[in-house]
Every structure is written in structure tokens, then in C-alpha cells.
Amino acid sequence: MTSPAVKSAQRVFEILEYFDRARRPLSLKDICHQLSYPTSSGAMVLKSLVVLGYLQYDRASRTYLPTMRIAVLGDWVPNTLFGGMNILPLMKAMRDETGETVVLGAQSDLYAHYVHVEHSHEPLHYAPSPGTIRPLARSGIGQLLLSGLPRRDVELLVRRINIADPDHRIDVDALAEDLTTIRRQGFVFSRSLFAQGVGMVAVLLPQAPFGRRFALGLAGPVEQLDRDLDDHLRRLRAATETMA
């Protein structure tokens, strides 16, 4: 059972992520409707964020808007992790140039975590939310991240995965063969793993500070990815060279 403190913390980040998607002032009604919060709970979290200086409340319009405190809170993170490459504008540009959804992924314990997502402008597109997680050993981007680890580390992770999810046991030798293929070709192309007809082409980025490793991928209809594979790989590899 989730404790009230944990639930409140979760709601803080859900509200801030909703502002990031909406990019406009939002009312209590907007937020509670979108996030399915009870009005009283939503009002309590919003009031706390105003008191702490993270949101500004406009009484005339009864709307909230993030303050500059939010903007500067994490502005050091991209430069620290990605050096001279401003990863978020690069992802937006890649989305606009390719028409595909662009995903930045990282390992989070036993999962591949979608750290940031730039959604395609196409009406029918693959739309995972930032924060989405996928099984580390049973997703394309997860296997790509595993391909950057030594065999012993992979075996330890697979052991933990199999204990946590015994109904979907991973054969470590079969996985090792898949990882060898990914290392040899230098990218992963997953097809219809989590949605029929949807795939992802992704490459590993050079190791970031503090031992962090990220993957950058283009997601969309498998037919489109197949058709534009060479061009997509050229763009993705150019991004890795910028960070090298």
C-alpha cells in the first residue's frame, strides 16, 4: 500500500510533467481532470508548490504556472551528463527531421527507463510517456543497454530478473547471443515488441559522467523505420560522435 507521503511526492512530479506537456497556465480543474485526482488532494499539492515557490498562482484567472525556480532547478543536469551536446534541442531537431518519436533511455535497476521523449507530430504515432519503463532483458532499448555491460554483470541482472518475474524467465545464453549481435552491428532494431507494427532503432551513447549510460532511439511504424533505416542510423551515429 502506498503511503500518503509517497503518493504526495508522486503527484508533485506528475503535476510538473503535465505542465511540461501542456506548456500553458492550468487550473485546478484542468489538473485534477487530467490526472484523475480528487479535488481536495490536488488543491493541497498545488497550494504546497505555491508556498514553496515552484508554482505561481494567478487569482484573476485561477490558474497556476511554474516559476523560474523550476527552470533552474535541473539546468545543470544536461551539461553535466552530456558535455557540450545539448541533448534536448538535438532530440527535438531529430524528431522534426525524421517525423518519428525520439526516445532517450537509461537503465533503472531491472528496467529500461524512458528518461525523455519527444513525440512525433504525426497524428498516428508511438506515444510512450516520459518515465515509461520496459523490461530490461525483453525490450530492444533494454537489450541495447545490456550490450554495454560485461557478461558477468548481465548474468547477475538476469538472475535477479528471473527471481522477480519467474513466469517470464530469461535464458542467459540466448540473451548473450542477442547482445553479441547488437554489439557487432552497433545498434538495435526492435520490431512489434510492445505494440503491433511499432518498432525502435536505437544506439548507445558514449558513457556519461558518474558511469551513466544512455541510449538514443527513433520509434515509429516498423515499415517507416525499415524504409529509412540508413538515414536514421546516420543521424543517430552523428549524435554519438558529437558526444565522443
pLDDT digit string, tens, across residues 108-142: 999 999 988 998 988 767 777 777 889 999 999 99
**pLDDT for position 3:** 46
pLDDT digit string, tens, across residues 31-70: 999 999 999 999 999 999 999 999 999 989 999 999 988 8
CA distance 57 to 50: 7
pLDDT digit string, tens, across residues 170-227: 999 999 999 999 999 999 999 988 788 899 999 999 887 777 889 999 999 999 999 9
pTM (predicted TM-score):
0.77
* CA 180 vs CA 17, 141, 146, 176: distances in Å: 37, 15, 10, 6
Query: Which residues make beta-bridge pairs with 201?
Result: 189, 218
Residue 130 contacts residue 114 (beta carbons within 8 Å): yes
Q: Domains of the chain (ranges plus CATH)?
A: 4-72 (1.10.10.10), 76-243 (3.30.450.40)
Q: Can you tell me the mean pLDDT for 92-117?
A: 92
